[in-house]
Structure 1
Amino acid sequence: MEKPKYGGQAVIEGVMFQSPRNMVTAIRRNDETIEYFEMKRPENKWAARLKKIPVIRGNVAIIESSIYGMKHMEFASDRFDRNPEDDQEIETEKQDTNTTKLVLSTILVGILSFLVGKFLFTLIPVFTAAIFSGVVTSHFGQVLLETIFKLILLFGYIYFISLTPMVKRLFQYHGAEHKVINAYENNKQLTVENVQNSSRLHYRCGSSFILFTVLVGFIVYMFVPVDPFYVRVINRILLIPVVLGLSFEVLTLTNKLRDIPVLKWLGLPGLWLQYLTTKQPDNSQVEVAIHSFNHLLRSENK
C-alpha cells in the first residue's frame, strides 16, 4: 500500500506539515518548549473541481498554499521570540484588532507580494536581455539570454538572502522538513539519528518548482514573439499563469518518474537548487520537525 504524500514548509523557528485534511506547525519557544498550531484544511468545492484540471490546478495549489501558509507563518512570527507567559497579551492584541480586516489584509498583502515578486522576476530579465538586442538579434538568442539573466537573478537572490542569520535558520528548518519526509517515506523510525542520516533534498520541493518556472518559461517563450518590445512585455505578463501551471505539471511528473533510472534525471536541476534553499539542520531543529510531523500523524487518526 502506497504511503500518503505529506508536504510542508519551514516557518520561523519551526516546521509546518500538511496532508489533504490537516495542517500542523510546531515551533520552539524561547524557553525551549515546543508549541503547536493545528488547523483543518478548509473544504472548497470550487477549488476541488479546479484542481482536477491540468495547468489550472497548479495555480490553485499555489494560491491555497500561500493563503494557508501565511496563517502558520503568522503563528510562528507572533510567538517565536515571546515568552509563553506573554501569550495572553498576544491574544489581547489580536482581539483589539478587527480580525476579519486583519485576515483579509494579510491575504491581500501576501498575494500582492507574490505577484509583484513574480512580475519583477519575470520582467527584469526581459529588460536586461533587450539591452543586448543589437548584439543578440535572433529570437532564440534573446529568449536564451533572458533565461540566463533569470537564472543569475534567481541564484544570486537566494544566495545573498541565505547569508542573513534569520533566513539561514529558516533554510535549516527547510532541510529538517525534507529530512523528516524522506525518513518517513523510506520507512525509517523518526528518531533524530535516522532523520539526520536522511537527505535534505526532495523531489516535491517548492524550490524545484521555482527552477522549473525558468526552464518551462524558456520553452514557452520560444513560441511567442519578442518584437516589438511592448508585445514581449505583455505576453510575459499574460503567460505567467500558464508557465506556473505547466511548471506544476512538470514537478508532478518528475516526482512520479524519480524511481525510473533513465528518467529520474529530469528532476535533478530542482534538486541541485535545494543545495541553496536548504541547510544542514542541528539536532534541536530536527526534533521540532519530528514533533510537528508526529502531531500531524496523530491528527490524521482522530
Structure 2
Amino acid sequence: MKPEDLPLAVGGQAVLEGVMMRSPHAMAIAVRRPDGTVILKDEAYHSLAERYPILKRAFLRGPVILIEAMITGVKALTFSAQAALQEEDGDQTEEPLGWGSITLTLGAAFLMAFLFFGFLPHWLSGKAGYLVGRTLTPADFTFHAVDGLIKGAFLVLYIWGISFFPDIRRVFQYHGAEHKSICTFEAGEELTVANTRRHPTAHARCGTSFILVVLLVSILIFTVFFPLFPALTHRGLANNFLQVIIKVGLMFPIAAVSYEIIRWGGKHSR
C-alpha cells in the first residue's frame, strides 16, 4: 500500500523515553516511566489549515506545518520530561504548558539557531575568501556553498556531541522506533513488534532529511536572490547581520519548497 492510499497520514517524533505520533486530527504520546509502566496521553489535534483551507495548498502548507510541528514538539517533550522523570511513587499533577513557556522555549532555540546556523556560518563564509584567494560575498555561489557546508558541519558536530549524553542516545533509539512504526503502518501491516522489526530505522519524511533538503534549497535560493540586489551584498559586520536577517525571512519560501520535495519523496520512496 502506498502512503497516498492510506486512510490518513501519520507522523511523529521521539521524546524522552517515548514517542509522539500525530495524524491530521489527533495526537498521542507514550512515555515509559522509571518503574517501567507506560503513560499514554491522547488529544484531538486541530491544524490552522482546518480553519483556513487555503493553507492546505502547495507551497503554503509547508511553513504552517513546520511551525505547528515545533509547537507540538515542545509540548510533547515537556510532557515526556515530566512523565519520564516522575518518581515511581509520586503522582504528579499534569500542568499544561502555557503559551508563555512555549514562546520562551522557541525563542531561546531560535536565538541559538540564529547564532550557530545563521550568523556564524555566514561570517565564516566571508572569511573563507582568504582560502580561495579572492573576496567572497553573498553575490557568489561559492559563498553560499561554503555557508551550506559550514552549516552541515555544525549540524553533524551538534548531533555527534549530544549523542554522548545517555538520555539523548535513548531519544535517538526511540526516533528509529518511531520510523519503524510508521513504515509498518504505511506497509499496511499490523502494528506488532515482530512486524516493526523488519522495517528500517530510516524514513524519507524524517525531519533530518528535511533539514538536509533545506540546506540544499537555501543554497540555490540565496544564490539567485542576493545578486538581484547588489546593495545587499556589501561586506561589514552590520551588513552581515542584515544579510542573515534577510536569510531568516527567506526561510519561509525555502521551507515551502523543501516540504514539497520531502512530500514528493515520501510518496515515491516505496
Measured against the shorter chain, the TM-score band is 0.7 to 0.9
Q: Structure 1 residue 175: deviation in Å?
A: 0.4
Partner of 1:237: 248
**122, 129, 147: which one aligns with 2:125:** 129
Cα RMSD for the two superposed structures: 2.2
CA contact (8 A) 1:6 1:18 kept: yes
Aligned partner of 1:91 in structure 2 is 93
Q: Which residue of 1 aligns with 2:102?
A: 107
Aligned partner of 1:249 in structure 2 is 260
CA distance in 2, matches of 1:242, 1:117: 21
Q: Structure 2 regions of 5+ residues with no counterpart?
A: 227-231
Say whether 1:15 aligns with 2:26: no
Could you tell me whether the CA contact under 8 Å between 2:75 and 2:102 is conserved in 1?
no
What secondary structure, in the 3-state scheme, does the structure 2 residue paired with 1:16 have? strand
Name 2:229's counterpart in structure 1: none
Return closer, same or farther for 1:47/1:30 CA change in 2, 3 Å cut-off.
Answer: same
Partner of 2:68: 64
TM-score (norm 2): 0.84
| Aligned-pair CA distance for 1:165 | 0.8
Structure 1 Cα separation of the partners of residues 30 and 169 of structure 2: 18
Corresponding residue number in structure 2 for 1:271: none
AA in 1 matched with 2:118: T
Q: State the distance in 2 between where 1:19 and 1:34 align.
A: 21
Distance 1:255 1:55, change over 3 A: same
Normalising by structure 1, report the TM-score.
0.76
Q: Which moved more, 1:45-54 or 1:175-184?
A: 45-54
- Say which is worse superposed, 173-182 or 231-240, in terms of deviation: 231-240
One-letter amino acid of the structure 2 residue matched with residue 91 of structure 1: T
Does the CA-based 8 Å contact 1:50-1:60 persist in structure 2? no
The number of aligned residues is: 250
Report the equivalent of 1:267: none
| 1:161 matches 2:162 | yes
How far apart in 1 are the matches of 2:47 and 2:125?
44
Contact kept? 1:25, 1:38, Cα under 8 Å = yes
Equivalent residue number for residue 58 of structure 2: 54
Question: Relative contact order (alpha carbons < 8 A, sep ≥ 6): 1 or 2 greater?
Answer: 1
User: How many Å apart are 1:12 and its aligned residue?
Assistant: 0.5
In structure 2, C-alpha distance between the alignment counterparts of 1:44 and 1:118, rounded to whole Å = 25
User: Is 1:73 the equivalent of 2:77?
Assistant: yes
Does residue 228 of the first structure (1) align with residue 234 of the second (2)? Answer: yes
- Give the CA deviation at 1:136: 4.3
Between stretches 198-207 and 248-257, larger displacement belongs to 248-257
Tell me the distance in 2 between the aligned counterparts of 1:91 and 1:205: 33
Cα separation, partners in 2 of 1:239 and 1:188, compared to 1, 3 Å: same
Gaps of 5+ in 1: 260-302
C-alpha contact 1:123 1:236 (8 A) present in aligned 2: no
